[in-house]
Structure 1
Amino acid sequence: MLKHCVFLNFKNNVSEDEKKDIMTGLTGLVGVVDGMTDMTFGPNLDFEMKTPDFDYGFIVTFRDRAAHLAYEAHSTHVEMGAKLVAACTGGAEGINVFDLET
């Protein structure tokens, strides 16, 4: 199993509705992309005060790397990914990704 963890530094002017639209688009791929089994998202609670710049994130669960690759190539992911880059401070620099095999 693969956990795809994405941490986002949204620009200050990105509305909650814009964030929700992007997350809803990506979540809609659960059950569409074979092997994409779950996605959760929400604001960073940052209890330890270590990541104040990354205010939002999501975690996707994939059966394996092949499912992750199918997600990466899917047209909805490409579209939502472009919206994420545009919505984050510094573009792609405002996005951190951490993939864990569990």
Structure 2
Amino acid sequence: MTQPQTVTVQILDKDYPIGCPPQQRANLESAARYVDGKMREIRNSGKVIGADRIAVLAALNIAHELLQRGAAPAQPAAGDTRERVRELLDKVDRALQERPLEQQRG
């Protein structure tokens, strides 16, 4: 099994180090570019202020696009969903802890 490597992606001019298997690096970088583009669209509209709100709106927009395309994944078991949510929250917490406090307010 291949060990994850740390890949740093940039979203809204901020660096986020993320653990990723080497064979998934290109997909991660592509996803980060897509998320960055969506967040920039929202920020540039001038209607939303704050990186947290921009991120939530971008996530909702991306989820909506997936649902419209019929690309929603099959419903996982409730335990699987809870575990995946915990993993994602842990990643978000780690990324936020690595950012200086002054950057979190922007």
TM band (smaller chain): 0.3 to 0.5
Larger Rg: 2
Indicate the structure with greater helix content: 2
Normalised by the length of structure 2, the TM-score is 0.36
Question: When you count strand as a share of all residues, which structure comes out higher?
Answer: 1
Q: Which has the higher contact order (CA 8 A, sep 6+)?
A: 1
